């Protein structure tokens, strides 16, 4: 393996690489590992040399130099291990190890001797602690000096301040005495003009001060009577209760509050609200009380009136507090539920509710309490009450919140609607039966009218045949009779056609859609063009809106109304005006009112309803032809679209027919 290096040293020994069988992986593994160790060992002496140079105050610098030589020798032995992989310079390697061994022995011996001296040296922590103690002592002395200076300054300032305060206190004390006198005068003035009674008493209830309103409410005549006799002025029924409550207040020092009555010498009874708060000394001991008396007689009278109104109400009424407990009922509640007042007052209102609803009712009460307002309960569903005998009945409940200073109450009205529900159900059944009957009648009218067409067509056909074949061949009476038969058949056919049209007008036609009313008028005018020309009529049509309607039926409405104006014209040339106006005031779908005005013969206003009835006529057929069905058909179509129709007329002047239809939000008008 001498070719491994460009040069080699002849020797009788084999290189160390031979022992590794010149396996390149093993050789390079040893070479690289020893190279890293050499670099590490060689870096340490240089670092120590730099440290000693910078710290020339060290007493054991020679030891660091010796230790650096030892480390350098160790690195050299590893360097020789790399060399002997290829060159068998084992003698040089041995000398290197001998030198390393000598340095290591000397270093170890000197280090052992140096350890006791090193242990005697103070540690950095100890040195730092000594420095810290010195710094602390210096800082403490500086603080003490500063505090002495500050204390001296404060003492001088305090003496000066106290001198000034004494002077100010003297002035303020004089001023305070004056303010107290003024406040006492103001308080006395305010107390005397106060609308409520004001008093001050000791713990035993002996009055030390009372204003005139207090004396007036009590009903006594002097301050001395007030001082000792206010308890005697109490109403006999309230005396024990009020005195016991006052004794409890005097013992516990808690505020006093009571509604009670006083009886005046003339027998007049006054309801009052008495309130008092304790006055304590510096140690918290109760010295007396300051309180007020408020005349609440008027409120009590209103409360009594309210109770009488509730009691005399025709429906059941009960009041519930925020905890859901009954506080007031009237006689109707007793009659409805079968409980006495003593059984219900103070009980949960759920006692009057069937068991299957009781679990959810408290949550419903809580929800109502968050937003109390006048409302009906159970909108869209049935409510039930539970009697004392556990029978249930249908009820209608109204809720009215009543706010007071102490609580929010709910006054509930309860009505037994069992009979009303039964009547409603009966009415629903009757309405359904009537609807079915009307449907059957419409079907019958349609079928009957349709089935009459065939035999009528036969009668009309043969009558016409007789008229053509035998006219002039029989006597005059026969010709007249045949003509009567032909005219009757023709009128019957027209009548049946009108009946068919009337029955269809009430049925659901094509689906309603946005329909331009102007186009409907145009179509109606086109259908009546011959009659318009013959009558020399003039049609004026204003700008009309778009409405929600069946287009075909809307054309029929305009055609019948225009045709009616043409039929009942006067000697003047017919002038017909069609217009519309928006009757809505909100922002929803507009409501349009249409008007068809003519200058015809008119009629008496008393017949304004009759003209829309089926088969109703105001003139004979000889005067004006027709069956009296046209306006009835118009009325049925308008009502089918949710509108209404009416007429205003003056004989000899003309008639105006009005009808209403709904339109979409966006108006779409087209001029005629």
Contacts of 353 (CB under 8 A, 6+ apart): 361, 384, 385, 386
Lowest-pLDDT range, 237-241, 502-506, 569-573? 502-506
Rounded Cα distance, 325 and 534, in Å? 84
Mean pLDDT for the stretch of residues 449-464: 65
Rounded Cα distance, 509 and 476, in Å? 49
3-class secondary structure per residue, 625-667: CCCCCHHHHHHHHHHHCCCCEEEEEECCCEEEEEEEEECCCCC
Rounded Cα distance, 516 and 663, in Å? 10
Q: What's the confidence (pLDDT) of residue 659?
A: 93
pLDDT(179) > 70: no
If you count them, how many residues does the chain have? 672
Could you tell me if 550 and 512 are in contact, meaning their C-beta atoms sit under 8 angstroms apart? yes
Mean pLDDT for the stretch of residues 298-324: 78
Rounded Cα distance, 599 and 576, in Å? 7
Predicted confidence band of residue 578 (pLDDT cuts 50, 70, 90): very high
Rounded Cα distance, 151 and 141, in Å? 15
Could you tell me if 583 and 592 are in contact, meaning their C-beta atoms sit under 8 angstroms apart? yes
Most confident of 139-153, 209-223, 646-660: 646-660
**Which token pair is 476?**
């005059």
Contacts of 665 (CB under 8 A, 6+ apart): 587, 588, 589, 590
Lowest-pLDDT range, 8-17, 183-192, 301-310, 369-378? 183-192
**For 536, which DSSP code?**
T
pLDDT(511) > 80: no
Q: State phi, psi for 512 to the nearest 5 degrees.
A: -70, 145
pLDDT(591) > 70: yes
Extract long-range pairs of 41-49: CB within 8 Å, 24+ residues apart.
Answer: 41/71, 41/72, 41/74, 41/75, 41/78, 42/72, 42/75, 44/68, 44/71, 45/69, 45/71, 45/72
Q: What's the confidence (pLDDT) of residue 580?
A: 92
CB atoms closer than 10 angstroms to residue 28: 12
> What confidence tens digit (pLDDT) does each residue in 392-443 have?
888 888 888 887 776 788 888 888 888 888 888 888 888 787 777 666 666 6
Q: Integer distance in angstroms from the first to the last C-alpha of the chain?
A: 122
**For 325, which DSSP code?**
B
Q: Chain-wide mean pLDDT for the chain?
A: 76
Predicted confidence band of residue 657 (pLDDT cuts 50, 70, 90): very high
**Which token pair is 464?**
């016409």
Predicted confidence band of residue 70 (pLDDT cuts 50, 70, 90): confident
Rounded Cα distance, 82 and 498, in Å? 131
Which of 620, 498, 610 minimizes the C-alpha distance to 556?
Answer: 498
Residue 22 φ/ψ region, left for φ over 0, alpha for ψ in the -120 to 50 degree band, beta for the rest: left
């Amino acid at each position: 393996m001498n070719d491994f290096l460009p040069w080699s040293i002849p020797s009788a020994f084999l290189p160390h690489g031979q022992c590794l069988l010149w396996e390149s992986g093993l050789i390079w593994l040893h070479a690289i590992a020893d190279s890293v160790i050499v670099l590490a060992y060689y870096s340490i002496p240089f670092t120590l040399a730099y440290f000693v140079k910078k710290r020339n105050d060290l007493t054991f610098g020679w030891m660091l130099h010796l230790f650096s030589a030892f480390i350098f020798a160790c690195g050299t032995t590893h360097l020789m291990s790399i060399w002997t992989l290829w060159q068998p310079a084992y003698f040089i390697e041995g000398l290197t190890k001998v030198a390393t061994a000598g340095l290591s022995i000397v270093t170890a011996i000197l280090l052992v001797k140096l350890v006791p001296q090193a242990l005697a040296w103070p540690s950095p922590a100890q040195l730092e602690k000594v420095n810290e103690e010195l710094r602390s002592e210096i800082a403490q002395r500086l603080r003490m000096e500063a505090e002495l200076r500050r204390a001296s300054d404060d003492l001088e300032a305090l003496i000066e301040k106290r001198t000034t305060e004494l002077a100010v206190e003297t002035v303020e004390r004089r001023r305070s005495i004056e303010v107290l006198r003024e406040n006492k005068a103001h308080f006395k003035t305010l107390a005397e003009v106060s609308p409520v009674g004001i008093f001050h008493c000791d713990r035993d209830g002996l009055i030390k001060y009372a204003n005139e309103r207090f004396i007036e409410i009590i009903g006594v005549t002097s301050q001395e009577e007030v001082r000792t006799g206010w308890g005697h002025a109490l109403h006999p029924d309230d005396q024990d209760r009020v005195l016991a409550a006052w004794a409890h207040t005097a013992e516990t020092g808690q505020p006093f509050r009571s509604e009670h009555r006083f009886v005046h010498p003339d027998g007049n009874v006054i309801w009052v609200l008495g309130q008092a708060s304790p006055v304590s000394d510096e140690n918290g001991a109760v010295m007396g009380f300051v309180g007020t008396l408020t005349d609440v007689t008027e409120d009590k009278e209103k409360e009594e009136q309210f109770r009488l109104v509730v009691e005399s109400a025709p429906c059941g009424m009960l009041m519930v507090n925020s905890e859901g407990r009954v506080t007031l009922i009237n006689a109707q509640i007793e009659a409805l539920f079968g409980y006495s007042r003593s059984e219900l007052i103070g009980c949960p209102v759920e006692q009057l509710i069937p068991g299957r609803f009781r679990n959810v009712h408290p949550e419903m009460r809580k929800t109502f309490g968050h937003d109390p307002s006048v409302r009906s309960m159970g909108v869209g569903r049935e409510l039930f009450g539970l009697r004392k005998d556990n029978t249930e009945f249908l009820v209608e409940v109204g809720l009215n919140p009543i706010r007071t200073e102490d609580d929010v109450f709910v006054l509930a009205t309860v009505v037994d609607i069992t009979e009303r529900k039964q009547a409603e159900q009966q009415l629903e059944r009757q309405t359904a039966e009537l609807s079915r009957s009307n449907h059957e009648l419409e079907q019958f009218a349609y079928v009957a009218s349709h089935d009459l067409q065939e035999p009528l067509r036969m009668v009309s056909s043969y009558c016409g045949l007789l008229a053509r074949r035998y006219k002039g061949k029989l006597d005059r009476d026969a010709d007249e009779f045949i003509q009567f038969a032909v005219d009757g058949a023709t009128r019957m056919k027209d009548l049946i056609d009108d009946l068919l049209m009337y029955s269809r007008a009430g049925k659901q036609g094509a689906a309603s859609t946005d329909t331009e009313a102007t186009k409907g008028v145009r179509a109606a005018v086109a259908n009546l063009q011959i009659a318009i020309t013959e009558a020399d009529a003039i049609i004026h049509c204003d700008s009309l809106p778009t409405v929600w309607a069946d287009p075909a039926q809307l054309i029929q409405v305009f055609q019948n109304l225009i045709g009616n104006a043409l039929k009942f014209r006067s000697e003047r040339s017919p002038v017909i005006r069609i217009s519309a106006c928006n009757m809505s005031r909100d922002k929803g779908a507009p409501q349009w009112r249409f008007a068809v005005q003519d200058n015809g013969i008119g009629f008496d206003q008393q017949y304004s309803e009759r003209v829309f009835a089926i088969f109703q006529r105001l003139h004979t057929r000889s005067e004006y032809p027709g069956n009296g069905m046209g306006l009835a058909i118009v009325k049925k179509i308008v009502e089918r679209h949710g509108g209404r129709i009416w007429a205003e007329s003056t004989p000899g002047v003309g008639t105006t027919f009005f009808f209403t239809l709904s339109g979409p939000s966006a108006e779409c008008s087209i001029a005629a």
